[in-house]
Amino acid sequence: MAGMPPPPLPQLGESFASQYYGLLCSDDANKMHDFYSEHSTMILVIDEVPAESATGIGQIRELISRLSVTIETTAIHTLECEENPNGVLLVVSGFVKIKDTVECRKFVHSMYLAPYQEGYFIKSDILHIITHDHQVPHELKPVAPITSKDIDPRFYSEHPPPVTDNGNLDESAVKRFERLMSLEVNVSGRDDLQNQPIVSEPPTAQEKASSSNSSGVANADENMDALEIEEPVAVQEEFSQVSNRSILCTSNLMFAMIFS
């Protein structure tokens, strides 16, 4: 990597994203962990599934290997790249096509690229895949698959930073990020519990008698109940549209808190 300065910021984000997702959807996806180091942390959030976290190359390799076998292609929709004294924040949104199906799902991926020598490695990232099926806009083209030999060595190395090296990241920033990553997993877990269906227990004999006595009132309220049931459906349909924007805002806020 010596003698190869990093590209300008806009090109850096585009180049990194195209190579990262190009390798993810290739036959060399088993080498994705070379974008990371032993200091790296990854969180995978898939709707309706408990969030998973991985720390270090071994755990990240296992997490990505399970993810890559389900993804056939990736298309990038938006890309935001922001530099700060400690590294680069990259936020990518787009679509992934699931293998052996016609399903396409939205994703939002927030990555913090920490500088190391003349290049970068992924210090931490959060990948959120939204499980609702979506139609990919026609103007979006899938990222072309590539091999590990085609990766810019400033982004990818078979010899990642040593365990004792955090890149140029301040130690206090590392600790703040680790706390926030832990909080993200805990919040996702609580959301999973809140989204679980409520299973009601069978009514007792006393409840059945009470229900029978009040059947007249229940029949009178049937029309009102039908109206009340329709509202949550509309709210649920709008949630995925709102969540995409909120994830982008949350990612930027989270990284701003780390380096404040």
The CATH T-level fold of domain 9-191+242-258 is Nuclear Transport Factor 2; Chain: A, (3.10.450)
Which one, of 15, 28, 225, lies nearest residue 120 by Cα? 15
Closest CA to 38 of 170, 166, 155: 166
Average pLDDT score over the chain:
73
Q: What is the pLDDT of residues 124-156, one digit of tens each?
A: 999 999 987 777 888 888 999 999 999 988 887
CA torsion 162-252-8-114 (nearest 10°) is -10
Q: Is the pLDDT of residue 79 over 90?
A: yes
Question: From CA 12, how far away is CA 128, in angstroms rounded?
Answer: 22
Per-residue pLDDT for 62 more than 90?
Answer: yes
Query: Taking Cα atoms as reference points, which of 260, 257, 255 lies closest to residue 90?
Result: 255
- Cα separation of 184 and 157, whole Å? 28
Residue spans of the domains in the chain: they are 9-191+242-258
| pLDDT score recorded for residue 206 | 57
d(CA 168, CA 153): 18
What pTM does this model have? 0.65
pLDDT band at 6 (very low <50, low <70, confident <90, very high): low
Query: What is the rounded distance in angstroms from the CA atom of residue 121 to the CA atom of residue 16?
Result: 10
State yes or no: pLDDT of 21 exceeds 80.
Answer: yes
The pLDDT tens digits for 189-227 are 444 444 444 445 555 555 555 555 545 444 545 444 444
